[in-house]
Amino acid sequence: MKNAVFGLDIGITTMRACWLENDKKGIKYISALSAPTPVKSMSSESPLDHQELAAAINKLVIDAKITTNNVSIALPENRVYTKVIDMPNLSEKELSSAIYWEAEQYIPASLDTMTLDWSILKKIKSGQVSKKMQVLLVAAPIQTIKRYQSILELAGLSITSIETEILSVIRSLVSDENFPTSLIMNIGALNTSVSIVQNGSVVFTYIIPLGGIALTRAISADFGFALPQAEEYKKIYGLMDSDFGGKISNAIQPILFTMVTEIKKAINFYSDKYQNEFPIVQLLLTGGSASLAGIDSYFVKNIGIETVIGNPWKLLNIQGVPKDIESRGPEFAVSIGLALKDYE
């Protein structure tokens, strides 16, 4: 398996690695493991901090018994610009020329400092004269990419592909173009990425600047707990009103209410654009906080859409996954999606 590629998700608080194999029987589990991310990691300018992160990554790879040094990584949404745009019906050659000028309207930074990528999501069918093609536009700072490359080289790894977390999560959940129209929420540590998938392709992306850390801090502020203790209470009691007198639920609901408000805005925007031609039928939750007790019921009650905890191991029927890793599927969504990229 010399040319095999594994997925590596370098989060703010946790790193996750996943290695899969595609054989005649389908996608097979080889290894998956998580470890804490050093406090000063990608955000630091210090070479010493970069060396510490590289050493932590190297240890994670060794502990996970991953024997390939080829890795696929994802950039967090707060470090990239992602936009689904409508374009006239153009050939790929014409689009290559036009996309740079189009990007200037949407990217709030000098394009000279950015790496630009794009892909056609939805082509115009024959006879659809008035409709436009949909293009996914992604831009990332050149310096950010260089930093990732430098740190992973220090860890003894070779990057084979880079994409955004949203695309990785979608790949980990969406099996084909017949997948029902879905809103996907990936609740990260600092941010929550929202995407809407229609006919197997992303048609809308949005970032909510709230995540698991905000929930933990809300508990810490209400009870005077240190953050580690607040994190434990969050995991134990979640949104269950019957546990701990519902006090933990009450502490984090203002944060979740803000998320609900933003999600409703996204749904309204989508519904107005598509005139309910492809109504959203389900909400899929991934990320570390997706496993909070009662969170699915909370979103059903407040948004009115069927809500499912998105576990890629089960949705994609990946074989051979240990039970302790399978139960943590939602938090491995990014790394699973990255590990699957080589098999598209």
The model's pLDDT over 64-114, given as tens digits with 9 standing for 90+, comes to: 999 999 999 999 988 999 999 988 888 888 888 899 998 999 999 999 999
Domain residue spans of the chain: 176-315
Question: Is a pLDDT exceeding 60 seen at residue 131?
Answer: yes
Q: What is the pTM of this model?
A: 0.93
* Mean pLDDT for the stretch of residues 6-13: 96
The domain 176-315 having CATH identifier 3.30.420.40: the answer here is yes
pLDDT greater than 60 at residue 130: no
* H/E stretch holding 169: helix 165-173
C-alpha to C-alpha distance for 164 and 193, rounded to whole angstroms = 10
Higher per-residue confidence, 120 vs 297: 297
Distances (CA, A) of 23 to 26, 30, 188: 5, 12, 31
pLDDT > 70? residue 124: no
Q: Region 165-175: what's the mean pLDDT?
A: 94
Radius of gyration of the CA atoms of the chain, in A = 20
How far does Cα 316 stand from its chain's mean position? 17
Tell me which of 12-16, 221-225, 314-318, 334-338 is least confident.
314-318
Asked if 290 and 331 touch (Cβ cutoff 8 Å), the reply is: yes
Query: pLDDT of 176-227, one tens digit each?
Result: 888 999 999 999 999 999 999 998 999 999 999 999 999 999 999 999 999 9
Query: What is the tally of helices (H) and strands (E) in the chain?
Result: 11, 13
Rounded distance between C-alpha atoms, residue 149 and residue 153, angstroms: 6
